[in-house]
Chain A
Amino acid sequence: MLEAARDADASVATAAVGSTGHVGLEPLVTATLDGETAFFSECSPGRARSVTEALDGGTLPSEDAVAVVEHEPGAATLPVPDEGPLAVGERGVLGSCGWAVPGSIEDYRAGAGSLPTDLELADALSRLRESGLRGRGRGDASADAPVADEWTTASEAAGDPVVVVNANEADDRAAGDDLLLEGAPLSVLDPALTAAEALGASDVVAYLSEDADLARERVRAAADALVEARDPEASLRVVVGPDEYKAGEPTMALEAIEGNHRLEARRRPPGPSEYGLNGRPTLVHTPRTLAQVGRVLAGVDPGGVPADPGTRLFTVAGDVAAPATVELSTGATLSDALPAVEPEGSRKAACVGGVFGGVTRSLDVPASAPGLESARLGTNGAVELVGESTCMVALAGERAKFAREENCGRCGPCREGSKQLVDLLRDVYDGEFADGMLRELGRTMRETSLCGFGSDAARPVTTTIDVFETEFHAHADGRCPSGTCTKL
C-alpha cells in the first residue's frame, strides 16, 4: 500500500503506521491536509495512489472516504470521527496507534504521554500509588493488583533489579499488547526504561512471541531509537519465546528468557518482584500496563473508576466479521465496545477473558477489574461473541481440552484436574451430568493451582454450567439444543 502511494511519485509525505485496532477497516489509509483528515477503509493500491495524487494536487479527496474529520493541524493523536467504529470508546493509550510513526521519537514526544526522563523512584511511586493503577492482562505479574505494590517490593528487594515487558500473548483474542507494540512501541518502552531508571535497574528485556514478527521489528527499531535519545548506556534487549499460551504466564516468561529448555511455572511466593529473572527483583508488566503507567507518570489524569483507574483495551472477536480492539474507560460497560464490530448472526453469549474466560449472556458488565471479576469474567481484555449456532457444552469442552493439552505439567490440580474435567464433560455426552463434581473440581483447580493457567482453566466450564445449565441437561438426555453435537 505504501509502495503504491509512494509510486504516485508525488511530493507527499507517506508513512507506514500501526493498526488503529479496527481490523475490518484495513487496509486503512488516512490522508491529511491542513487540519483535515480523510479515512479510506479497505483501500486498494490504486485508490491509495489516486489519493496521493489528489493530495499532491492540493486537495483532500473525500469521495468514498468512510469519514472526514477536522482537527488541529499537526495533531499528535488520531483524529476521531463522530461516528462509525473509530468513534467507539476513547483513544488515550491508543492515541497514536494508526497515526504516529511507530519508532519516531519526535512523534512520540509530541504526544500527550511523553515522560519526564529524570523521575525519582519516590516520585514515581507516589504518583502510581495515588493513581491506584492496577496491572493489565494475564501476563502481568500484578494483573488486577496495584502496580505501586509491585514496584515497592522490587525496590526493597535485595539484588540488581530488572524490568521485563511481557508481550508474549499467544491468544489472539487479546490483541491489545501487540497493537500497542506495533503502533506505539515507544509508549510502552519509554515507561519501561523510566521504571528501570527509577529502580536503578541496569536493563530492560522485551519478551515477545516468536511469531510476532512485525511487533518485534518495531520494538527493535523503537528500542534503538529510544536508547540513543535517552541514554546510550541503557540496555534494552528483545528476546522471543515460544508462541504458546503458557509461555505468556509471567513466571514461564522468565523461564523462557533465561533459556530453560522446558517451560514450567515457578513456585511462589515470593513472586517475580522479589525473585525474578535470574533471581533478580523483576518487574513483569505487559505493554498495556506500561502504557497506563506512562500516562500516570506523565501526569495525565487516568480517568475511569477509582477502584480501577484508567482505561482498558478490549478486543471484540469471535462471531464477528472482523475483530476490533477498542479502549474503554473503566467506567464504561463491555457493551459499549459492541458498535466497533459487525456481529455475525445473533448473539447468544460471550466469553470474556480469552480462552479461559468466563461465559455470560449479558455484556452490561463494568469494564473494570472488580466489575469483571464480580461477574466472574476474565480481565485479559478479550470479549468473544458467541453466536446461536455454537453449542455451549462443546465450547466448554474445547476449552477444557485446550487446558489438558497446553498446561505445563507441573502441578496436580491443573495437570490431572484438566484431564478429569475433560472426562467429566465427556460423561455428559454419555448421559451423566455430574454437576457437583464438576463444580468441586473447578473450585479446586481455581484455588489450588500453582499458576494462573490452572486457576483460570476451569472457568469456561463452571461459568457455562451456571449460565447454560439446561444445555448440559439436554446433552445428558441425548439432545444438543443448537444441533451441532452430532454424536449424541
Chain B
Amino acid sequence: MSTDPIWEDTTTGADVPLTEDIAPGTANDPPAGSTEAATLTVDGQTVEASVGSTLLDACEAVETDGDVLALCSYDDEEQIGPRSECRTCMVETEEHGVVPSCSFPVEDDMTVSTDTESASEARDVNLDLILSNHNLLCTTCGANGRCDLQDVAIENDVEEPRYGVLHDRSQLEPIDDSSPFIQIDRNKCILCNRCVEACNDVQVEGVLRMEESGGETRIGFQNDADTMMDSTCVSCGHCATVCPTGALVEQGLVDATTLPVPGFTHKNSAEGIVGEDYERQRTQMTPMKREGDTRNEPRVSRPEPAATAEDDWL
C-alpha cells in the first residue's frame, strides 16, 4: 500500500450526488432511434435495420457514396448521445428532406442518399462552422493523432476551412491547468456534450455542465467553480476518455503526441493559463468535492400557488 496521500480515504459522507440534483444544463431529449425494425434503401442498397436504429446505423452498415462525417456522435451506446449538435452527418431522404442521420430514426421504406448536393453541402459547411470556432494548432495539441475532428477534417479533404479558424490569441480562453489529472482547453471544444453525459449519466458525479448560451456556450462546473481544481471532480477521467478533441486531455498525455516545434507547446498555444497556483493536489478528491454540491436551481417557476406576480417567479 502506497503512503502517497492520494490513497487516503478522506470521505466523510455520501459524495455521489443524487441524480435529481444533477444539473447538466442540457435539454431533456427524447430517446433516439426507431421504435420498430425497418427495411430501407441507402444509396440504392437495401439495409435491414433493427429496433433502435438511426439512419447513421443504417449508413454504417453499407458502403455509402458520400462520407457521413458524424463528428459529434459517439459510437458507444453507454448513455452518451446522440447529441446531434454538429450537423456533419446530414443525409438526404426522399421523405423528410435533409436530416441529421445520427439521431433520425429509421423508417420502413425510406430512401436515403448520402451524396446529394444539399447533403454534402450541409456537411461541408457545418464542419467548417465547427472549425471556425476551433484553435486548429494540431501540432501542439494533446490530442494530435487521436482526434476525431482531425480525422473527419482529413476525411473530408478540408484544406482551408471557409470561415477560417480561431487563432486570434486574445480571443482564446485560458487553458485550465489546475487539475493534476485533466487539462481543459476550451478552445478545442466542439460542444459535443459527451463529457457532460459521461460525468453525469455514466459516472453520476454531477461535476460538468453546459453553461451560457449563444457564442458564450461552454462546458463549466455545476458548483459554479471557475477551475477544474475547484470543481467537485473525482478525477475518474471518463470525460477525457470520451472527448473527441484535445479539449479534455489527461495531464500525462498533454504532450505525448505533440510535435517538438521549438518554442511551441500546448500551454503557450493560448493566451493564458489558469490554475498554475495549485502546486500539488493532496487527495484524489478536489477540495470542493468535500464541501460543495451540485446545483439545480430552476430558472423558471413552479406551478403558482397564488395569483401574485412575485410568487410566480421563484
Point out residues on A near B: beta carbons under 8 Å: 210, 213, 216-217, 220-221, 237-242, 246, 251-252, 254-270, 274-275, 278-279, 404-413, 415-420, 423, 437, 440-441, 443-444, 447-450
Contacts and interface: CB of A to CB of B under 8 A. Distances in A.
B173 to A, nearest CB: 15
A257 B300 contact: yes
A241 B298 CA distance: 10
B274 interface: no
B30 interface: yes
Interface in B109-156: 118, 121-122, 125-126, 129-130, 132-133
Interface of B: 23, 25-32, 82-88, 90, 97-98, 100, 103-105, 118, 121-122, 125-126, 129-130, 132-133, 162-163, 190-191, 209-217, 295-304, 307, 309, 312-313
Contacts of A210: 301, 312-313
Given A242-B299, A262-B25, A404-B214, A412 B129 contact: yes
B217 A409 contact: yes
B212 to A, nearest CB: 7
Nearest to A271: B30
B304 A239 contact: yes
B85 A410 contact: yes
Contact of B126 (A275, A279, A412): A412
A23 B133 CA distance: 45
B309 A216 contact: yes
A157 to B, nearest CB: 10
A242 B213 CA distance: 14
Contact of A261 (B100, B103, B296): B296
A268 B32 CA distance: 8
Given A216-B312, A404-B215, A449-B87, 12 more contacts: A210-B301, A216-B309, A237-B303, A264-B26, A266-B28, A279-B30, A409-B212, A412-B190, A413-B125, A415-B215, A416-B129, A447-B98
A242 B299 CA distance: 8
B87 A242 contact: no
7 closest A-B pairs by beta carbon, nearest first, are A409-B217, A259-B298, A275-B30, A416-B129, A262-B25, A444-B125, A409-B213
A242 to B, nearest CB: 7
A278 to B, nearest CB: 8
Given A407-B213, A409-B217, A444-B126, A274 B30 contact: yes
Contact of A263 (B90, B98, B296, B299): B299
Given A259-B300, A409-B217, A266 B126 contact: no
Nearest to A244: B213
